[in-house]
Amino acid sequence: MSATALPVLMLVPTGIGCAIGGYAGDAMPSARVLAAASGCLITHPNVMNGAALYWSDPRIHYVEGYGLDRFAVGAWDLRPVLRQRIGLLLDAGIEPELAQRQIQVAEGCRATLGLEIGPVLTTDAPLGVHLEQGASGASWGTLDRHDALLRAGERLQAAGATAIAVVARFPEDPQSDALAAYRAGSGVDALAGAEAVISHLLVQHLQIPCAHAPALDPLPLDPQLDPRAAGEELGYTFLACVLVGLSRAPDLVAAGQGVVGSDRLRADQLGAVVVPNGALGGESVLACLERGVPVISVVNPSLLSVTADALGIGSGVHAAASYAEAAGLVLALREGVAPASLGRPLPGLERLN
């Protein structure tokens, strides 16, 4: 991290239908601009995962959502690394041909991108993924055999994997109204909530970087496809972006463990948090507000409406109409310019009696 960088946390909660970040890596342009403005951006896989599309930037740190929460509350530090050895965990419920497609993607990433991948392990029982939807419309999910997932993760870690890419067989209904709405640009990613459950379980249990890619059959061609959903329709798998993201994901280290030096990213170094304006109720955001970290609340419509007003937060939150404006605020903070000085009218000074 550059000495002049301002570490910034970018959050786009998954499975809530965000207009930016609710699709196949469509928040990547925003992340790239925030990384340029801050010099150091910490964000989670669903921001950077675009199926066959990805963007590697040493200023962007790829951290799974549970790990982000542990980092934000100060329980874990992040230690940047040059590379991870990625174990590939396959669900026993994946059909042989579809499983072979995942392995070929991993082989392609080894040969073409120089990633260190292996070993490969199939779970000892199908994981049994079920997709659910909350009353708000947000997606979530359950597993029949979380024990099989954790056993496989333990075996990969014991075999030398320092990060884990998971591919689970997901249920699918190509004719569903929900899928049609999503492909047309007006729905919620029905898979995202269950994906988060899988990665959370592994990161909590193993404390190493993990991310998930679903195994699905290719969909029939749709000429009316929304551009935000197009990244998911380019091939047989979603795995390539996960492997690239995990290849340089930072280690997750207990705060205060070992010698703490300049190679660590700590929660007390955070200069700002950028989050959709209706999603301020998450653990990471609340922890940062409590510590006085500036929160930049970006207009990014979703199913949630947990706003600053709803939470009764009067200070510490800066509104931004777009991620471009948020990047400007980050740059102001990095340069020591008071964000309030950029707006008009400029309020008068507070006077104490």
Residues 6+ apart with CB under 8 A from 129: 91, 93, 141, 142, 143, 168, 169, 170, 171, 194, 198
| 3 pLDDT above the threshold of 90 | no
Q: What predicted TM-score, i.e. pTM, was given to this entire model?
A: 0.94
**Weakest mean pLDDT among 4-8, 184-188, 318-322:** 184-188
Taking residues 77-101, what's their average pLDDT? 97
In-domain check, residue 353: no
Q: Residue 27: inside a domain, yes or no?
A: yes
pLDDT over 70 for what percent of the chain? 98
Domain assignment present for residue 118? The answer is yes
pLDDT digits (tens, 9 = 90+) for 253-268: 999 876 556 689 999 9
Give helix 239-247 / helix 96-113 axis angle, nearest 10°. 40
* 294-351 tens-digit pLDDT: 999 999 999 999 999 999 987 889 999 999 999 999 999 999 999 999 999 998 898 9
pLDDT on residue 320: 97
Give pLDDT, residue 259.
58
Mean pLDDT of the chain: 93
Is there a contact between 266 and 255 (Cβ–Cβ < 8 Å)? Answer: yes
More reliable by pLDDT, 82 or 257: 82
pLDDT at 262: 67
Q: What pLDDT sits at residue 72?
A: 98
Domain CATH for 333: 3.40.50
Give the model confidence (pLDDT) of 229-247 as tens digits: 888 888 778 999 999 999 9
Q: Which residues, 6 or more positions from 336, have their beta carbon under 8 angstroms from its beta carbon? A: none
Task: Say if residue 155 is in the same domain as residue 289.
Answer: no
**Pairing between strand 139-143 and 129-133?**
antiparallel
**Residues 261/244/63/134 CA torsion (nearest 10 deg):** 180
pLDDT band at 182 (very low <50, low <70, confident <90, very high): confident
Q: Is residue 142 in a domain?
A: yes
* 60 inside domain: yes
Tokens linked to 123: 């779970």
pLDDT of residue 261: 61
Tokens of 55: 């963007």
Residues 62 and 109 in one domain: no
Q: pLDDT for 111-166, tens place per residue? A: 999 999 999 999 999 999 998 888 888 888 899 999 999 999 999 999 999 999 99
The more confident residue out of 173 and 342 is 342
Q: Quote the pLDDT of residue 186.
A: 82
What percent of the chain is predicted at pLDDT more than 90? 76
Do 66 and 114 share a domain, yes or no?
no
Residue-number span of the structural domain to which 116 is assigned? 85-248
Asked, for residue 325, whether it belongs to a domain, the answer is: yes
Please indicate, yes or no, whether residues 28 and 91 belong to a single structural domain of this protein.
no
Q: Which of 279, 302, 90 is nearest to 198 (CA)?
A: 90
Q: Looking at the structure, do residues 94 and 230 belong to the same domain, yes or no?
A: yes
pLDDT higher than 90, residue 176? no
Same structural domain for residues 75 and 208? no
Indicate whether 351 belongs to any domain. Answer: no
Q: For residue 192, give the nearest of 17, 66, 72 by alpha carbon.
A: 17
> Same structural domain for residues 221 and 280?
no
Are 244 and 113 within one domain?
Answer: yes
User: Which pLDDT score, from 0 to 100, does residue 258 have?
Assistant: 62
- Domains held by the chain: number: 2
347 falls within a domain: no
CA distance 21 to 27: 4
Domain boundary among 248, 268, 301: 248
Same domain flag for 91 and 239: yes
Q: Are residues 75 and 92 located together in one domain of the fold?
A: no
